[in-house]
Structure 1
């Protein structure tokens, strides 16, 4: 059994991680921390876990966490970089669901996150946990930086085109919509039901924290610099991301065959039939990315539709997928949940 601990389990990604780990046949949950909820039963805060998780929240304690085989950080940025080093020194694997180790260029990270990075040497070591790109490196990792939700949907959508050099790299557009759970489990006027319902709005058009992370991944895929316009939107749903991606083709190619071949062996990427329109509800609660490719009017514009559940493939599910790879388990273990409908 893999002994797992979670630092910061009271947010939406934390409870999703708890749900998935509790259903994993080869995982034993050892500890879950929360400075604000010490002593509270997990099941009292999250009644869906009643009878499944018997733990209570505890103060973060390195000695307790060091009894685990793997520790997940489901915390805001700035937390994991302060504790990961000690855990790694004690032989514990660390999987960070936050942003501390995603961006390799430290000045860029500090610019976008507004603080000094206290562990740049760990950022240099961390493996970016997008399995469809870095599976082999993940197998050997000590520290994994799980991708953000927008970056997952956007990178998986653009990947086959950039890897094969089929589009103009200087004119990429990602128009992405997210449910309100992407803003986290906190009191915020903008995500109140009366504020977010029956409305949709763009935000952070001048620059979003996920932009440098997305660009970093796209540059790796393309082997050259890229220019990306990324516009996120808040939509009146709880969970889900829909990314509509635009690029200009520089070569004529069978796009359907290209995507089907690239993702043929990927258990959590579903390339839909030609002309399909994937829905966010088709991935709700599942560790799945569904993709469809369009070429309007047969012209040189390609439109890729990419949908994920931001809390699963965009966060906790991807973290568990990384854990499975890291420990040599079936990559699908604990992640074969079918999406919820309606």
Structure 2
């Protein structure tokens, strides 16, 4: 059994990790930390886990994290990098759901997150946690910086158009003029008291935010450059808050090049993702809905070419707490420990 600890088990990604790992046949959860809830049984805070998790929250100092095989950080930015050296020295593998090990440029990290990176030498070896793109590197990793929710949807939506293995080196789209119009449910803001996510504020409402620049923008651009194998990427990314609890819907617009005008994009996407257990390329003409992936680790994508013109419209949906966060974390855990990638992640989406 893989002994797993969770640092920061009281937020939405933390409880989602608990839900998924409690059903994982090869995992034993040995520690769950929370300074504010130390001593409280997990099932008292999350009644949905009654009979499934028989642990109490403990402080990070009392939790025996160095005795784990792997530790998840479901914490604010900056926490994982503060504990990384000690855990790695003890042979513990790290999976961070925050941004500490996502951006490889420490200056860019400081600019967007307001923190100086405390362990750039560990950042240099960290692997970006997007299995469909970095599967082989994740298998060998000691540290995985898990992809963000928006970045997962945008990168997987565009990967077939940019990847050298699918394009043969051709530029199918103008990578300097990509637009992603992305929407998220309120759980993406975390489990905290904030005016903008109060029921009376978010319900029966729809709004854009962070149009000048969202902290996921550099992460997405970094990932798209790696997928494309060049730096000629320009992205306009506009996030929106929708009045739902779970879900990401990204509508992505890409302008075709002259070479790209003759490609069968439905076939391209189907071929690119044919062996991916968690990416479902929908039939031509489909419009995937967020409720079709709620509670599952699946991502659904549909590609459209309106009027057979020069613009592709890619529609991507995922559950921001599962494929956009904790489910993807479990997917990476499986890879790091040599397990089938789908282990513990075969839950069917909840409907309605």
Superposed pair shares fold, TM > 0.5:
yes
2:251 corresponds to which residue?
Answer: 244
- Tell me whether 1:190 sits opposite 2:190 in the alignment: no
1:145 corresponds to which residue?
Answer: 145
Contact 1:278 1:307 in 2 (8 A): yes
Aligned counterparts, 1:133-282, within 5 A? 133-163=133-163, 164=167, 165-225=171-231, 226-250=233-257, 251=260, 252-282=262-292
**Which whole-Å deviations, capped at 9, do the CAs of 1:229-261 have from their partners, x for residues lacking one?**
000000000010000000011112000000000
2:121 corresponds to which residue?
Answer: 121
* Runs of 5+ unmatched residues, structure 2: none
Other structure's SS at 1:248 match: strand
1:7 corresponds to which residue?
Answer: 7
Other structure's SS at 2:94 match: strand
> Alpha-carbon deviation of 1:61?
2.8
- The separation in 1 between residues aligned to 2:229 and 2:54, in whole angstroms, is 48
Aligned counterparts, 1:33-182, within 5 A? 33-61=33-61, 64-163=64-163, 164=167, 165-182=171-188
**Which whole-Å deviations, capped at 9, do the CAs of 1:138-182 have from their partners, x for residues lacking one?**
111000110000000000001000112310011000000000000
- Tell me whether 1:310 sits opposite 2:317 in the alignment: no
Other structure's SS at 2:175 match: coil
> Alpha-carbon deviation of 1:62?
7.4
Other structure's SS at 2:95 match: strand
Across the aligned residues of Structure 1 and Structure 2, the Cα RMSD in angstroms comes to: 0.8
Contact 1:3 1:29 in 2 (8 A): yes
Contact 1:285 1:339 in 2 (8 A): yes
Contact 1:62 1:87 in 2 (8 A): no
- The separation in 2 between residues aligned to 1:265 and 1:85, in whole angstroms, is 36
What is the TM-score when the length of structure 2 is the normalising length? 0.96
What is the TM-score when the length of structure 1 is the normalising length? 0.99
* Runs of 5+ unmatched residues, structure 1: none
